[in-house]
Amino acid sequence: MSKAGRLVVLVSGSGTNLQALLDAAADPKFGANVVAVGADRDGIEGLARATRAGVPTFVEKLRDHPSRQAWDAAIAAKIAKYEPDLVVSAGFMKILGTPTLERFTVLNTHPALLPSFPGAHGVRDALAHGVKVTGCTVMLADAGVDTGPIVAQEAVAVLPDDDEATLHERIKTVERSLLVEIVGRMAREGWSVIGRTVRIGNQSEGESK
């Protein structure tokens, strides 16, 4: 049973999920602290949020390396410096490679109810398919695209007048809350993984949230 007290959070944009985690971690009862924030680009609000919170940051740009494999090794090394118990991919727009995935537990989110509508356009694809209910998923990252073991999911209704922007905004609100809840529970209660089943603390089989 692993426990997550030290978090490294990876971002590529505005960092709203990161901010939710920073806010939650301000309460000692949350059980986890963000010890570093990493990014794949400079000048983003996610890094600014970390700096304002006094959290160390690092940037590892893909273009600064001769190959994807070299970048994979470099970002894994940067993460390792902070000795995290859990890595949270919070809007990080790169697929992490074997050096990171084999060394750390990586938590990721997706704006759909996996395994439906994986990939970069989960909200758009759900709307195009005409579903009446979609939602968000918190999962453990693996080498695939949104294929890792599912930790938790929450449904979001699709309204008749929804477009991609309005639906995505409602999903993101639910996603932030669910991510904070799951990270906090993993920190306080621990978790285990058997095959594709992820259990937090004494969570009973079939409980998703």
Virtual torsion, Cα 84, 104, 79, 61, nearest 10 deg: -150
Is 168 marked active-site? no
Cis peptide upstream of residue 66 (ω within 30 degrees of 0): no
CA distance 140 to 152: 10
C-alpha separations of 94 from 84, 145, 168, 184, 186 in Å:
19, 10, 20, 24, 24
CA distance 137 to 41: 25
CA distance 58 to 75: 9
Instruction: Give the residue numbers marked as catalytic.
Output: 110
